[in-house]
Amino acid sequence: MCGIVGYVGKQPAAPFILEGLKRLEYRGYDSTGVAILADGAFRVAKKIGRVANLEKEIGRQPLAGTYGIGHTRWATHGGVTDANAHPHVSSDGKIALIHNGVIENYAALKQVLLGQGFTFKSETDTEVLCNLIAYHYDRLSVAGDENRLLAAVRQALRHAEGTYGIVVMSVDFPGEMVASRKGSPLILGLGEGENIVASDVSAIVARTQSVVYLKDGEIVHLTEKNFRITTLDQVAVAPTVDKVTWKITDAELGDYTHFMEKEIFEQPVALENAMRGRFSEDGSTAQFGGLNITPHEFRGIERFMFCACGTALHACMVTEHMIERFARMPVECDYASEFRYRNTPLYRNTLFFVMSQSGETIDTLAALREAKRKGYQVLAINNVVGSTIAREADGGIYQHVGPEIGVASTKAFTSQLLIGAMLALYIGRMRDLSFGAGVRYVAALKSAPDLVRQTLLQAPAIRAIARKYAHYTDMLFLGRLSLFPIALEGALKLKEISYIHAEGYPAAEMKHGPIALISEKCPSVFLVPQGEIVNKIVSSMQEIKARKGPVIAIITEGVELPAGLADDTIVVPDCHEAVLPIVMSVPVQLLSYYIAVARGCDVDKPRNLAKSVTVE
């Protein structure tokens, strides 16, 4: 969380930084700020709220200069105020800093700095780090060190505990910047006569597609023409320059009103991209290029562990179901945040997976590191190429769905479901799943984009239903088996973007508590597929109806509900079990989206949330 951009070059810095911050706003939007270095002083503008607020202000009083830093904040230490917004400038006016992360020992450092005469205008941990750098910078100036800014940052970071992605400037070195990271992402963009540093590539691709992904513990000194990376211990690092494959237009709204809407409708293409080239020639199984584990080694695996957060955990839960169902192998899923502290006993021959759209979620990264520390091989299912999780995993599968900007994950989620189903097929075909069953399974997965296309055609009907239910304050989502995690996801989506209290439950479990909530004021959304348990789900619906609870039924074609049981019905195409959660996700996403729109909510930037949670 928090988005940061630094620019050194020949172009006006402020407009470029503001544009970059808009693209990073999904990382936090409590406040925005920019500091431009010109004529030997920092000119700082900061304001609570969105980038657009600050942009208006800067429009009235433009900040001239070609070196600068900017920040969009997701508040951790200190409330949402102008004073707490970044950049922070040291009390001696020498150093300006932007920061993504948390300095855990800030209180102790602050005491020391107060004793040294530094003063503070904000309640943030970041201002402490800024003054700490100024403290070292000042002492180094006495020694006349040439690379003073770099040396000061290096020294200050030795005393800082916690996580950070930082960019630092000094009034004495216009055209120079120092950036470093530990636990928060930071990427260098190498342009023509200009260099950029940002939290992710979306803030960079407007100018260059050549990027260097910084690693934890690295520090970079950059000017408009050069950059040099070292470790905090001053060991030189040879950079790897990567090419970003996506274009700036991939992260633009086009004709859509919201990114969430765009990304829901992009799902057919996203699914095609996620499966492209990943089926065997005989059409009976899946294949993955980046697992870095041979089929023989895979054959020796006896169980799987999946860790993730939020929506990605729901995708893991569906994957658990698919692997157990089609590969008949045991799988465990856990919240990454719990796993890292639970000290879970893991069996030998366990293959560990993490799933993360961004590849930067701190708890998921910590779970990966914990599993690796215990000696397990860890694979990642991840969307953002070059992300920290992708780089630290032993191998993995990229989702290839392009940038996802809406805070509520949609196309990344369904592509995770697809990859999970493909993984189940791959493992299943190594075991008992027959050639014929594999061929049918592959055909089903290949049909997923079209099934999603057909389902999307119902958007107008779903919008009409959504309007009917937009005024409720509580809602239940109920599903069974592979659709239980989709019920969880439906509830999560609804509460994230519309602020309606919603819970997801296994349909039969509803009797053990949630039924107490049921009245005419609490609707239930039931996910009802064809199959052996349809009658059981219908019984649960009857129980809700008997208590006057409104019922929205999302059914597959061919399901026949007793007359009058559902107040509203959405019908999706009948399909193979492996594809069912993908298809069922679509009406659930649309329902939440249209309810949030009907309530006038800021769908792409729900309050208090950030897309990429890089603090604990």
Residue ranges that bind ligand G6P, judged by CB under 6 A? 309-312, 356-358, 361, 364, 407-409, 609, 611-613
Buried b (16+ CB within 10 A) or exposed e, 463-478: bebbeebbebebbbbb
Give 319 or 357: the residue with its C-beta nearer to ligand G6P.
357
Active site residue 46: no
Taking the complex as a whole, the smallest distance from the CB of residue 405 to ligand G6P amounts, in Å, to 11
Q: What pairing do the DSSP bridges indicate for beta strands 162-170 and 303-308? A: unpaired
3-state SS, one letter per residue, for 373-385? HCCCCEEEEECCC
Please identify which residue in the block is written with the tokens 């239980």: 484
d(CA 201, CA 608): 23
Q: What pairing do the DSSP bridges indicate for beta strands 162-170 and 187-190? A: unpaired
Give 128 or 309: the residue with its C-beta nearer to ligand G6P.
309
Number of CB atoms found within 10 A of residue 158's CB = 9
Query: How long a stretch of residues is the chain?
Result: 616
Taking the complex as a whole, the smallest distance from the CB of residue 93 to ligand G6P amounts, in Å, to 37
Q: Where are the alpha helices (DSSP H) in 435-483?
A: 435-456, 459-469
Give 22 or 611: the residue with its C-beta nearer to ligand G6P.
611
Give 74 or 137: the residue with its C-beta nearer to ligand G6P.
74
Taking the complex as a whole, the smallest distance from the CB of residue 408 to ligand G6P amounts, in Å, to 6
Please identify which residue in the block is written with the tokens 């950070």: 164
Taking the complex as a whole, the smallest distance from the CB of residue 43 to ligand G6P amounts, in Å, to 34
Taking the complex as a whole, the smallest distance from the CB of residue 311 to ligand G6P amounts, in Å, to 3
Please identify which residue in the block is written with the tokens 């100036």: 141
d(CA 540, CA 526): 9
Give 156 or 610: the residue with its C-beta nearer to ligand G6P.
610
Give 5 or 309: the residue with its C-beta nearer to ligand G6P.
309
Residue 419 structure tokens: 């990859």
Taking the complex as a whole, the smallest distance from the CB of residue 523 to ligand G6P amounts, in Å, to 24
Active site residue 374: no
d(CA 428, CA 157): 49
Taking the complex as a whole, the smallest distance from the CB of residue 364 to ligand G6P amounts, in Å, to 5
Asked whether 493 and 589 are in contact (CB, 8 A), the reply is yes
Which one from 2, 309, 316, 575 is the annotated catalytic residue?
2
Angle at the Cα of 150 from the Cα atoms of 144 and 156, rounded to 5 degrees:
95
Asked whether 552 and 523 are in contact (CB, 8 A), the reply is yes
How far is CA 103 from its chain centroid? 22
SS3 9: coil
Give 16 or 259: the residue with its C-beta nearer to ligand G6P.
259
Which one from 47, 94, 182, 611 is the annotated catalytic residue?
611
Considering only CA atoms, which of 365, 253, 351, 373 is closest in space to residue 306? 351
Q: What pairing do the DSSP bridges indicate for beta strands 242-243 and 303-308? A: unpaired
- Please list the active-site residues: 2, 611
